[in-house]
Amino acid sequence: MRSTLSVEEIKELQRRVLDLKRKKGAYIIAHNYQLPEIQDVADYVGDSLGMAMEAKRTDYPIVVVCGVHFMAETAAILLPDRKVITPERYAGCSLAESITPEQLREWKAQHPGAVVVSYVNTTAEVKALSDYTVTSSNAIDIVRAIPEDKEILFLPDMFLGMYVKEVTGRKNMHIWPGECHVHARVTPQDISRAAVENPGAVMLVHPECGCSTNCLYLKAKGDLDVDIKVLSTGGMVRYVKQHPEEEYVVATEVGILYRLKKEIGSDGDRLKPLREDMICEYMKTITIDKLVRSLEEEVYEVKVPPEIAEKARVPIERMLSLSR
């Protein structure tokens, strides 16, 4: 997605961000899918887990979250005494919207005693009804840490859920049929095509992708001759840093390519997106001019009602304590 601003205008706005953040004592945390000009002025760029951990680590009075709303909410839940702001208050997430608190209450009533494991891409209210939150970097470890005899309700991403179920071999795990509109459209055929077009390339696949479980299955059967790594966005960054000489096809939101190229100092020849249309329009609502305004006016403050925040903090803290 291209900005309508000129390079010079972007640079000027970036200078203002750096100046304002110093004057105000603000700390900027951004997701790996953010626009390059946002990533370049952020103090931290990472995946959902890294963003939550970083929010807890900082002691700045103002924390600016450049990501979708649930990411800002998670920071606000973890930092009740700090000012958490986001440059765009309507940066939603199709996955977080795929389950409501009412639906979760009903599901829980059908499975009394089950442990509720919610992907971090959920609203604060849904988190408040959960036992654990997970991200794509720690979902497998957290599911493994839950006693075998406990039924699990995993929500809301069915592809991540199926992938975790396949890897852990967990039988008593029910999966909510939610999905992310950006990742759900990826098929095993996309991977097979990319493998033919890019022989020898490593496929970096986000577990939210519609192909993740299918790919593992086809690979186990020997029907897919390609090196696939199913990783969170943070896991992709770490992998590429450790293997900078490889060629990659990347199956997640295209914003991560900027981060990956920067990490290995590549002009981009060895890193390609699986599909150019994997663009999260919610992530892209955060622009550099909105970030300037956000710092100038200290908007939009993200506030979670204390009674919800108190309950939602429990599964998030459990996740963080299992992720250190």
On whether the CB atoms of residues 19 and 224 are closer than 8 A, the answer is no
On whether the CB atoms of residues 165 and 149 are closer than 8 A, the answer is no
Helix (H) or strand (E) holding 30: strand 26-31
Contact partner, 136, from ligand 13P, ligand SF4, none, Cβ < 5-8 Å per class: ligand 13P
Contact partner, 40, from ligand 13P, ligand SF4, none, Cβ < 5-8 Å per class: none
Backbone angles phi, psi at 66, to 5 degrees: -100, 95
Nearest to 61 by CA among 22, 95, 91: 22
Percentages helix, strand, coil for the chain, rounded to the nearest 5? 45, 15, 40
Structure tokens at 313: 């903090």
Q: Which of residues 227-256 bind ligand SF4 (CB under 6 A)?
A: 253
Single residue of 282, 302, 312, 319 touching ligand SF4 by CB under 6 A:
282
Q: Say if residue 72 is exposed, middle or buried (CB neighbours under 10 Å; 0-12, 13-18, 19+).
A: buried
Closest approach of ligand SF4 to the CB of residue 194, in Å: 19
Q: Is 49 in the site for ligand SF4 (CB under 6 A)?
A: no
**Measured CA distances, 80 to 24, 59, 144, 306, 309 (Å):** 19, 12, 30, 8, 8
Q: Is 203 in the site for ligand SF4 (CB under 6 A)?
A: no
Q: Is 116 in the site for ligand SF4 (CB under 6 A)?
A: no
Closest approach of ligand SF4 to the CB of residue 180, in Å: 3
Q: Is 180 in the site for ligand SF4 (CB under 6 A)?
A: yes
Q: Is 123 in the site for ligand SF4 (CB under 6 A)?
A: no
Closest approach of ligand 13P to the CB of residue 130, in Å: 17
Interface residues with ligand 13P (CB under 6 A) are 32, 47-48, 121, 135-136, 180, 208, 232-233, 253
On whether the CB atoms of residues 308 and 129 are closer than 8 A, the answer is no
Closest approach of ligand 13P to the CB of residue 137, in Å: 6
Residue whose pair of structure tokens reads 């010079």 in the numeric block: 8
Taking the C-alpha atoms of residue 86 and residue 109, their distance in angstroms, rounded to an integer, is 35
Closest approach of ligand SF4 to the CB of residue 280, in Å: 3
Single residue of 39, 74, 121, 130 touching ligand SF4 by CB under 6 A:
121
Helix (H) or strand (E) holding 115: strand 115-119
Residue 94 or 287 having the CB closest to ligand 13P = 94
Contact partner, 94, from ligand 13P, ligand SF4, none, Cβ < 5-8 Å per class: ligand SF4
Q: Is 95 in the site for ligand SF4 (CB under 6 A)?
A: yes
In eight-state DSSP terms, residue 41 is T
Contact partner, 212, from ligand SF4, ligand 13P, none, Cβ < 5-8 Å per class: none
Q: Using the rule CB under 6 A, give the single segment among 12-20, 52-60, 93-101, 268-276 that binds ligand SF4.
A: 93-101
Residues found near ligand SF4 in the complex (CB under 6 A): 68, 93-95, 121, 180, 182, 208, 253, 280, 282-283
